[in-house]
Chains A and B, each alone.
Chain A
Amino acid sequence: MADALFLAISVLTIGSAIAALEMRSLVYGSIALMGTLGGVAGFYVMLDSPFVAMFQLAVYVGSIAVLILFTVMLVKRELIFKKIEDPKRKFAGIGLMLIVILALGAIIMDSGIKSISTDSDPVDFREIGGDFLTYYWPALVLMALILAGSVMGALVLARREDTVENEQRTD
């Protein structure tokens, strides 16, 4: 059962990744990208880490894919892309991908991780949270500062447009 599920998710992920690259329509391409990201979430569920899987769905499919869709819908493709039909580049790209995959596979096979024990307990996300609050607290504070900075930057950018609109409204 697990093997069939793994195969199905792999086919979904890789197939939609290829579709995302090869689709002529940008909207369908971004839908296929969503399929890829969802497939990665499926892998996380299979690897006993539903916490990461749900964040993958909420952040990547729910927000980043939406941003991509939004951008794609508001631009005309002809204005930014020129279509270059060049089969040589395509074959070179496929060759490069094969080389990278083979190299990574060789490294992984060589590293000794050949067998996976499937009966071990999943990592409890409460432990991760506890570690973050106690031992790794500088990392948490750093992340919090970066996030706060980015949110404030976004607010400042949004505010600048607000003043312009207000001036127009008073006119």
Chain B
Amino acid sequence: MSVIAPKFRLGYFLKGIFDNAFWILTIVTLAGIPLIQIVLFYMDLPVIDGELLTAFLAFTWLFNPTMQVPLIKSLLYSDLFRIAAFPGFGFAALIAAGTIFVERKMLAKLQLRVGPFYCGKIEGLLQLAGDGLKLISKEIIIPAKADKPLFWAAPVLFVGTAAAFVALIPVAPGGWVVADLDVGLLAVFAVIGFFPIITILSAWSANSKFPFIGGIRALHQMVSFEIPLILSLLSVVILTGTLNLSEIVESQSNFPWIIFLPISAIVFFTAMLAELERIPFDLPEAESEIVAGWLTEFSGMMYGLVQLGSYLKLYAFAALFVIIFLGGWTGPMFWPPLETELITTGTPIPNFKGDPVLTVFAPGLPLFDKDPNEWVLQEQGELQYTSGQLLINGVIWFVLKTVAVIFFILLPRGVFPRIRIDMLLHIGWYKLIGLAFVNIFIALGLVYAGVLGPGGIM
């Protein structure tokens, strides 16, 4: 009779604990502490309330309620928070996760199915978490004759490039963007150019027929649709005279560009669908023809990473459409303007005799204002708002518009069939490029007629 677990003995148990403790201590002493010292040497430590935040102080303040708020505020304004959480990766990944769930559910409704239903009791809300756990726990299988370094690198590079794309997207007024480049739109074009390379390299490295066919199709499609994509955005650049995405949004405070450049918006939307490999342009991963296209050989979390990257890309493209044609975060304010003295000096509240007993400050949004004593009032029109109000208002409008555009990206999947590759290339090279040029001439006409641009309304 074989026993799977050996018999329990206290001596072995204690030995196991002591062994683990010994090795952990040894490794931390020899590698961990020097590593922390090296990292701390290169890091800029924040100054909070006139004190340099060392690791010791941070640990102390974690248990001091009066110092927690400044600590959290300084974290909110750090670069790491921007990259990892709010305008960067975390925010985009949240929207991407929501997109996946909504896509499955909406597609099911369009096709008179129920979609995910059992996970999480209410309408399959936890289906996504279940899928994620499944993908993480699955084994990663690599084909025997694959080119291993490239095969491993491709999903990571794909997610990295998508995250770089997300980093260029401004989300709210006041510089809420990871990388506010002066040549932001060009940087977007440069980042988009990396996707076909990663696709074709991963397709080649799998050393299999279906991924290679899918990769070649993806290359054709992405390279040929990049041209109308770039040309359709040039008309906006001509009208605004800037390549900075935040400035492009600010130029639309009166009207969005889609009013004047509808052709450009249509061309960009179509090229966007092709770049995202979505139906009706999903030839690179045509399920009914070539298994799963260039994703065929990926398994486990590698497949999950590629999916995450493609949905991050979808969010980034939708956000780019919103920024360039729909006015980004501009929109009517949800908030009433605050009185100036409520913020600066506080409003005294009298008791029934008329003596002021309480001075009330605006509760405000402490997380988003650097210092309650220096609340910045920003003027928008004639009214004044705090920067926190503008931030939340901007984010709400931005997310609403982005979700609407994502809905219109998802919708064709339930409506249109897949088109042939020659029709696809025909659309890309003949129709879309021609339309984009037409629109550039419209934009030039508007500028030279003095309707818009530097001499006109703007």
Contacts and interface: CB of A to CB of B under 8 A. Distances in A.
Q: Is chain B a partner of chain A in the same complex?
A: yes
Interface stretch (A6-14, A49-57, A75-83): A49-57
A50 B181 contact: yes
B454 to A, nearest CB: 11
A66 B186 contact: no
Given A54-B183, A55-B186, A63 B223 contact: yes
B294 interface: no
Contacts of A34: 197
Interface string A31-65: 10010000000000000001100110110011101
A66 B189 contact: no
B228 interface: no
Contact of B204 (A61, A65, A66, A73): A73
Main secondary structure of the interface of A (DSSP, over half): helix
A114 interface: no
B190 A58 contact: yes
Interface in B180-234: 181-183, 186-187, 189-190, 192-194, 196-197, 200-201, 204, 216, 219, 223, 226
Contacts of A57: 190, 193
B201 A61 contact: no
Contacts of B216: 70
Contacts of A31: 201
B16 interface: no
B374 interface: no
B132 interface: no
Contacts of B192: 62
B241 A66 contact: no
A69 B200 contact: yes
A171 interface: no
A54 B197 contact: no
Interface core residue of A27, A54, A61, A158 (most chain B CB under 10 Å) = A54
B422 interface: yes
Contacts of A73: 200, 204
Contacts of B429: 155, 158
A65 B422 CA distance: 24
A131 interface: no
Contacts of B186: 51, 54-55, 58
A126 interface: yes
A55 B182 CA distance: 14
B187 A61 contact: no
A27 B204 contact: yes
B183 A69 contact: no
Nearest to B212: A73
B190 A125 contact: no
Given A34-B197, A65-B197, A51 B183 contact: yes
A70 B193 contact: no
A158 B426 CA distance: 10
Contact of A50 (B183, B197, B201, B422): B183
Interface core residue of A61, A73, A126 (most chain B CB under 10 Å) = A73
B236 to A, nearest CB: 15
Given A54-B186, A162-B422, A69 B197 contact: yes
Interface string B228-258: 0000000000000100000000000000000
Interface in B98-149: 147
Given A125-B183, A162-B422, A62 B201 contact: no
A54 B189 contact: yes
B194 to A, nearest CB: 7
A150 B110 CA distance: 45
A66 B219 contact: yes
A55 B373 CA distance: 45
B198 to A, nearest CB: 10
A85 interface: no
Contact of B200 (A61, A62, A70): A70
Contacts of B426: 162
Interface string A19-37: 0000000010001001000
A66 B223 contact: yes
A61 B219 contact: no
B189 A70 contact: no
13 contacts: A27-B147, A27-B201, A31-B201, A50-B182, A50-B183, A57-B190, A62-B226, A63-B193, A66-B193, A69-B201, A73-B204, A125-B183, A162-B422
Given A50-B183, A70-B216, A73-B200, 11 more contacts: A51-B183, A61-B193, A61-B194, A61-B197, A62-B226, A63-B223, A66-B196, A66-B200, A66-B223, A70-B219, A162-B426
A-B pairs with the 6 shortest C-beta distances? A62-B193, A57-B190, A54-B186, A58-B190, A58-B189, A54-B190
